[in-house]
């Protein structure tokens, strides 16, 4: 069998990542049929931890430095334990499609984090994107269950996105310490260790859970929590981050299609409109330099000589 050309490998890896992360909201909804949010997060990442341990045995990873333990624990806290517990609680009252849209608001909160925590300068363009994105978030939350049924579940998913923003910020400000596989392994393992507070009662839940729920949870542990990260690391090794990130805009529509087939969900028109607003705002954030770069020559040409 002839080996696949590198461009095709990259495209397939991107498609795999989108499919895995698009499945996640549906897998969570199925898992919540038999597990409470804490138990679901723990079981999901116990599976992911074992899977990553097997990968690490074959690939080999470097041992962490003692001084980096607080950093690695913080990554696990924000990316795994806090993020996924909040996400699971939130999805108890939010549809899978709406949840996938709200989770994509992470770049909006990353901008706020950059300004108010790390004191970075934020352009007017970025402030406009954040404002537009937050309008889209309100539309999604209001359209998912109707204006009269707005509760804290949507807010919990937004807090999960904020937690993910802290994870990205920590990575950004501590780059170069470990390669992608090593960092992913230690993030998953440390986050799983923090989730062990949910061990009481887990065995009983596992014994009583239906087979289809067990398969969904195993799928959550292996696909979006492990294999997707490895595929994403492969993509980032061959493609610029700003270009690769564009493929993530396919995650919400993919999640809506999967939820439609597996859960029978039909997203409301307001959810679709809000999703478009959120995704456009996040896209505009990522295109800021490119757009301003195109505008700069025209501005220069319009100045008096």
pLDDT, tens digit, 9 for 90 and up, residues 102-116: 988 887 887 888 777
Q: What's 303's DSSP letter?
A: S
Read off the pLDDT of residues 177-233 as tens digits, 9 standing for 90 and up.
788 888 889 999 999 999 999 999 999 999 999 999 999 999 999 999 989 888 887
State pTM to two decimals. 0.86
pLDDT at 297 over 50: no
Say how far apart CA 91 and CA 98 lie, in whole Å: 9
Count Cβ atoms below 10 Å from residue 298 Cβ, excluding itself: 8
Among 49, 42, 7, 29, which residue's Cα sits nearest to residue 187?
49
Cα separation, 292 vs 197, whole angstroms: 48
Do 80 and 135 touch, CB atoms closer than 8 A? no
Q: Do 28 and 88 touch, CB atoms closer than 8 A? A: yes
Each residue's pLDDT tens digit, 131-149: 898 898 888 988 887 655 5
Collapse the DSSP code of 78 into the 3-class scheme (helix H, G, I; strand E, B; otherwise coil) and give the result.
Answer: helix
pLDDT at 171: 77
Say how far residue 41 (Cα) sits from the centre of its chain.
14
What is each CA distance from 48 to 16, 41, 71, 150, 233, in whole angstroms? Answer: 17, 11, 20, 33, 16
Could you report the per-residue pLDDT of 55-67, keeping only the tens digit for each?
A: 999 988 989 999 9
CB 180 within 8 A of CB 18: no
The pLDDT score that the predictor gives to residue 50 is 96
Spatial separation of the C-alpha atoms in residues 261 and 280, rounded to whole Å? 26
Is the per-residue pLDDT at 234 higher than 60?
Answer: yes
Find all residues with CB under 8 Å of 67, minimum gap 6, and list them.
Answer: none
In the predicted structure, residue 72 carries a pLDDT above the cut 50: yes
For the chain, counts of helices (H) and of strands (E): 16, 0
Largest CA distance in the chain: 79
Alpha helices in 104-250 (DSSP H): 106-116, 124-145, 152-172, 180-194, 202-208, 211-222, 228-238, 241-245
pLDDT tens-digit map of 239-292: 776 677 778 788 889 999 999 999 999 888 888 999 999 888 888 877 775 655
| 303 pLDDT higher than 50 | no
For residue 19 the two structure tokens come to 């499919």
Contact 88, 32 (CB under 8 A): yes
Residues 6+ positions from 25 with CB-CB distance below 8 Å: 91, 96, 97, 99, 100, 103, 255, 258, 259
Please, which pLDDT band fits residue 238 given cuts at 50, 70 and 90?
Answer: confident
Identify the pLDDT of residue 298: 40
């Amino acid at each position: 069998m002839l080996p696949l050309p590198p461009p095709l490998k990259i495209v397939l890896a991107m498609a795999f990542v989108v499919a895995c992360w698009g499945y996640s909201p549906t897998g969570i909804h199925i898992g919540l049929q038999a597990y409470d949010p804490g138990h679901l997060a723990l079981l999901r990442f116990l599976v992911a931890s074992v899977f990553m341990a097997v990968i690490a045995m074959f690939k080999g990873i470097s041992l962490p430095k003692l001084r980096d333990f607080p950093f690695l624990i913080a990554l696990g806290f924000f990316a795994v334990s806090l993020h996924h517990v909040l996400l699971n609680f939130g999805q108890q009252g939010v549809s899978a499609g709406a949840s996938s849209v709200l989770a994509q608001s992470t770049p909006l909160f990353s901008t706020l984090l950059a300004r108010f925590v790390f004191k970075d300068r934020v352009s007017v363009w970025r402030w406009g994107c954040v404002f537009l994105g937050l309008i889209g978030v309100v539309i999604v939350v209001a359209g998912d269950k109707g204006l009269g049924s707005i509760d804290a579940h949507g807010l919990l998913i937004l807090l999960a996105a904020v937690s993910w923003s802290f994870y990205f910020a920590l990575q950004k400000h501590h780059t170069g310490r470990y390669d992608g596989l090593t960092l992913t392994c230690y993030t998953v393992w440390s986050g799983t260790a923090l989730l062990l507070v949910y061990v009481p009662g887990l065995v009983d839940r596992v014994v009583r859970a239906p087979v289809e729920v067990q398969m969904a949870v195993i799928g959550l542990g292996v696909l979006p929590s492990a294999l997707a990260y490895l595929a994403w690391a492969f993509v980032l090794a061959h493609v610029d981050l700003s270009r690769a990130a564009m493929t993530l805009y396919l995650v919400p529509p993919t999640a809506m299609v999967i939820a439609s087939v597996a859960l029978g969900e039909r997203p409301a028109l307001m959810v679709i409109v809000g999703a478009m607003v959120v995704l456009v705002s996040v896209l505009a954030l990522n295109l800021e330099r490119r757009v301003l770069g195109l505008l700069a020559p025209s501005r220069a040409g319009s100045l008096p000589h």
